[in-house]
């Protein structure tokens, strides 16, 4: 289990305050909210790219941020919103880079490391791209490679910042479907940030609504995604339609 208790962080005139949530093994929690609400800041604090004000992130009861870099890499993997390498590394080399923290300073990757990287590419249906330059991939393929790079560490927790950003509808569904499958089959705890409440409703076990650096509500999507809460978070009138067991969230609009 990953537990965040009282996470607070500030820079400039923006802060996140007293963020609390729990995510069990095999569950997906989505941080959902408008641009600039603090979703990415929260995610970076959880992973340790930013330093919160006090101890607040625990994995299986262990203070995550007090662990060594090597220990943290074995527990959690991070997938950024975008990544642009300065050199045209092959896809396989990019995935192997995920093991850098487990190698000594002058140690080169061995055959076993490349085989592990191939295994993760195979898992995501990307093995045939192993020799292709990373700079020649589409947006959806890039995201899959970044996920493979995180998975090669064999983490218990996977943190993904806007994994569907800049992707078309087909690739959004593909990426989120793979994340959900990994959570179920590999028993990975996943935390991701999204903008779209409909996608969050479909692919999340839990949702945390974020506004102005605070968690406004957290729980199962059926409890959290209600018109009055969404209107307060997004600042627009919301209407929720239900049919055949599905809920569709849309803004109220007037047809002129």
pLDDT of residue 254: 63
Grade residue 55 by pLDDT with cuts at 50, 70 and 90: very high
The answer, yes or no, to whether residue 219 has pLDDT greater than 90, is: yes
pLDDT of residue 255: 52
Q: Once rounded to an integer, what is the mean pLDDT over residues 165-176?
A: 88
Q: Which domains does the chain have, with CATH numbers?
A: 2-251 (3.40.50.300)
The answer, yes or no, to whether residue 180 has pLDDT greater than 90, is: yes
pLDDT of residue 69: 87
The answer, yes or no, to whether residue 256 has pLDDT greater than 50, is: no
Q: Once rounded to an integer, what is the mean pLDDT over residues 123-149?
A: 90
Grade residue 70 by pLDDT with cuts at 50, 70 and 90: confident
Q: Once rounded to an integer, what is the mean pLDDT over residues 188-198?
A: 94
Q: What is the pTM of this model?
A: 0.90
Please give, one letter per residue, the 3-state secondary structure of the chain.
CEEEEEEEEEECCEEEEEEEEEECCCCEEEEECCCCCCHHHHHHHHHCCCCCCCCCEEECCEEHHHCCHHHHHHHEEEECCCCCCCCCCEHHHHHHHHHHHHCCCCCCCCHHHHHHHHHHHHHCCCHHHCCCEHHHCCHHHHHHHHHHHHHCCCCCEEEECCCCCCCCHHHHHHHHHHHHHHHHHHCCEEEEEECCHHHHHHHCCEEEEEECCEEEEEECHHHHCCHHHHHHHHCCCEEEEEECCEEEEEECCCCC
Grade residue 8 by pLDDT with cuts at 50, 70 and 90: very high
């Amino acid at each position: 289990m990953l537990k965040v208790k009282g996470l607070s962080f500030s820079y400039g005139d923006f802060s996140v305050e007293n963020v609390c949530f729990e995510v069990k093994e095999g569950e997906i929690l989505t941080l959902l909210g408008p641009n600039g609400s603090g979703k990415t800041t929260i995610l970076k604090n959880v992973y340790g790219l930013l330093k919160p004000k006090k101890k607040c992130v625990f994995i299986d009861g262990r203070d995550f941020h007090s662990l060594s870099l090597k220990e943290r890499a074995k527990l959690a993997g991070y997938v950024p919103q975008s990544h642009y390498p300065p050199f045209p590394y092959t896809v396989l080399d990019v995935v192997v880079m995920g093991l850098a923290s487990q190698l000594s300073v002058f140690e080169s990757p061995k055959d076993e490391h490349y085989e592990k990287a191939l295994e993760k590419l195979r898992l995501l249906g990307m093995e045939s791209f192993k020799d292709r330059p990373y700079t020649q991939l589409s947006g959806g393929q890039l995201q899959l490679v970044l996920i493979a790079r995180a998975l090669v560490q064999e983490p218990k927790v996977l943190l993904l910042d806007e994994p569907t950003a800049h992707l078309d509808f087909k690739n959004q569904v593909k990426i989120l479907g793979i994340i959900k499958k990994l959570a179920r089959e590999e028993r990975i705890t996943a935390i991701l940030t999204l903008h779209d409440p409909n996608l969050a409703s479909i692919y999340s076990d839990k949702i945390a609504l974020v506004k102005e650096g605070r968690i406004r509500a957290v729980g199962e999507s059926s409890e959290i995604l209600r018109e009055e809460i969404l209107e307060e978070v997004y600042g627009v009138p919301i209407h929720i339609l239900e049919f055949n067991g599905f809920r569709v969230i849309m803004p109220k609009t007037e047809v002129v």
